[in-house]
Amino acid sequence: MSKRAFDFIVSAVGISVCSPLFLVIGALIKWDSKGPVFFKQERIGKNFHPFRIYKFRTMVENAEQIGSKITYGNDPRITRIGQFLRKTKIDELPQIINVFKGEMSLVGPRPEVRHYVEIYRQDYETILTVRPGITDLASLKYPDEAALLGHCNNPQEEYLRHVLPDKINLNKESIKHSSFFFDLTLILKTLLKLFEYRIPS
């Protein structure tokens, strides 16, 4: 089975199964704060083609106009329900729509905004030969990136100079070892990591 066929089947099943959950979460988001249910933002995809990534909205309306491009620490723009959605990673679920549409894959380098892609464009010439994904090696290494950056004196500088270059190296490593078995292993590790991280012993 090809990678795209696997992505299509899994995402189609996921959308069908998760539809009732999407309705409940959508109602909670609308009840909690003013604004749309989904957060849509331009990201750069395969071959530098831009697309709109889908997430459940976890911040106040127009958050991008009143703050930084990255979220870190106890960002005051995050809503009450948004805190829960981020902690459980449920806010990422709508990306199965991007996978279904062929803009993303289940496994692949996490898609970045144009600003950061242009800064490291030479590296992304290699990375963006494949579809971006919901999970990758960097997702496993940085399960709570916002909290990590929240401990830094200059979160944006830390992300640009240290975290992002490390993620770029991990992305290249993932592409080098990409295979159907590698993807399945990463999906399993991601699920185990989420369970381990969210439910402490």
Give the tens place of pLDDT for each residue, 116-142: 999 999 999 999 999 999 999 999 998
Give the contacts of 165 (CB within 8 A, at least 6 positions apart).
Answer: 120
Q: What is the rounded CA–CA span in Å between residue 35 and residue 61?
A: 5
Q: Name the pLDDT band for 201 (thresholds 50, 70, 90).
A: very low
**Both structure tokens of 186:** 């990463």
- pLDDT of 145 > 70? The answer is yes
Q: What is the rounded CA–CA span in Å between residue 90 and residue 178?
A: 26
User: What does the H/E/C string look like for the chain?
Assistant: CCHHHHHHHHHHHHHHHHHHHHHHHHHHHHHHCCCCCEEEEEEECHHHCEEEEEEECCECCCHHHCCCCCCCCCCCCECHHHHHHHHHCHHHCCHHHHHHHCCCEEECCCCCCHHHHHHCHHHHHHHCCCCCEEECHHHHHCCCHHHHHHCCCCHHHHHHHHHHHHHHHHHHHHHHCCCHHHHHHHHHHHHHHHHHHHCCC
Give me the phi and psi of 46, to 5 degrees please: -55, 135
Specify the pTM: 0.89
- pLDDT of 67 > 60? The answer is yes
CA end-to-end span of the chain: 38
Instruction: Evaluate whether 42 touches 51 at the Cβ level (below 8 Å).
Output: yes
- pLDDT of 65 > 90? The answer is no
Q: What pLDDT does 68 receive?
A: 67
